[in-house]
Amino acid sequence: MFRSLLFIPSNNPSMLQNADIFSADGIIFDLEDSVDISEKDNARNLLMNYFNEGVNYPSLIVLRINPVDTEFFLSDLELLKTKKVKYVLLPKTDNRSLVVLDKYLCLYEKEFKLNEIKIIALTETTNSIIEINQIAKHKRVEGILLGAEDLCSELEINRTNKGEEILFARSKVIYACTANNIIAIDTPNTLIDNEELIRQDCLNAKNLGMKAKTAIHPNQLEIINKVFSPSKNEINWAIKVIKEKNKNVNKGAFSVEGKMIDKPLLMKAEKIINKAKSYHLI
């Protein structure tokens, strides 16, 4: 379970060195867009040695590789041998690229005795949004990240903080993820110094049903973590619901604070408690 993932360019030694102290729930080590094409080898070498010889690591490591149809794809996968990577973030995911990556992950897991590596699908093309239901059903996919910048570029539309232009894509990601019990992850915000606009963007995403958000700067993490965590009021309500349920074991419905609680609200309370525990809020 996570609510914030921070992108770090893999060719930046000082960012790698501090990767374990950021307040993100997970770190995405990026080998793709934030690394210039002339520096791909340098970034990969640095990450390989960091994974092999570093001292402290983030608790959750995601590796954004280059797309399957690039010359860098197979070299990027060599990093899996370090056994540090839990998720591969696959750019421009569609059904075809998912099949290709899955084939190689099977080979690596068998050959190098790795734990199962999961995939976060980066849906950033119109085609990936169209194919999203199949992507979400894939056995390795544990989350879908919306990549709004690339998507809007393809659609030739402007990104806004309000996000009306990505409402359809956000909704597709959320419904596909929720239906398949995987994590809907919102697109990063490119603003790094306007807390109020970042907060509004996070709230828009959360209120639609996103469960986590990516950050491209450490400044964004505090807001993301706060917005995507259950609030104190939500936690207090959930605790009351669980307590009342324990007093009314054989009842299908009971009341809390003058309102009826039945199965859907009980499930909601349980999810809030699980999140609060996971994020060390209770």
Residues at the site binding other proteins, with contacts judged by CB under 8 A: 13, 16-17, 41-42, 45-46, 48-50, 52-54
Measured from the Cβ of residue 22, the count of other Cβ atoms closer than 10 Å reads: 17
Virtual CA dihedral for 43, 91, 86, 56, nearest 10 degrees? 30
Q: How far is the CB of 112 from other proteins (least distance, A)?
A: 20
Q: How far is the CB of 10 from other proteins (least distance, A)?
A: 10
Q: Considering beta carbons, is residue 47 or 135 the nearer one to other proteins?
A: 47
Q: Which residues pair with 118 in a beta bridge?
A: 87
SS3 71: coil
Q: Which residues pair with 144 in a beta bridge?
A: 121, 184
Q: How far is the CB of 76 from other proteins (least distance, A)?
A: 15
Q: How far is the CB of 170 from other proteins (least distance, A)?
A: 38
Q: How far is the CB of 14 from other proteins (least distance, A)?
A: 9
Query: What does the block give as tokens for 270?
Result: 């349980």
Q: How far is the CB of 163 from other proteins (least distance, A)?
A: 38
Q: Are 263 and 245 in contact (CB under 8 A)?
A: no
Q: Are 212 and 172 in contact (CB under 8 A)?
A: no
Q: Considering beta carbons, is residue 78 or 257 the nearer one to other proteins?
A: 78
Q: Considering beta carbons, is residue 50 or 237 the nearer one to other proteins?
A: 50
Nearest by Cα to 188 from 136, 133, 150: 150
Q: Considering beta carbons, is residue 13 or 203 the nearer one to other proteins?
A: 13
CA distance 61 to 29: 7
CA distance 8 to 221: 13
Q: Considering beta carbons, is residue 47 or 235 the nearer one to other proteins?
A: 47
Query: What does the block give as tokens for 136?
Result: 């979400």
Q: Considering beta carbons, is residue 39 or 109 the nearer one to other proteins?
A: 39
Q: Are 254 and 248 in contact (CB under 8 A)?
A: yes
Instruction: Fill in the DSSP letter of residue 75.
Output: H
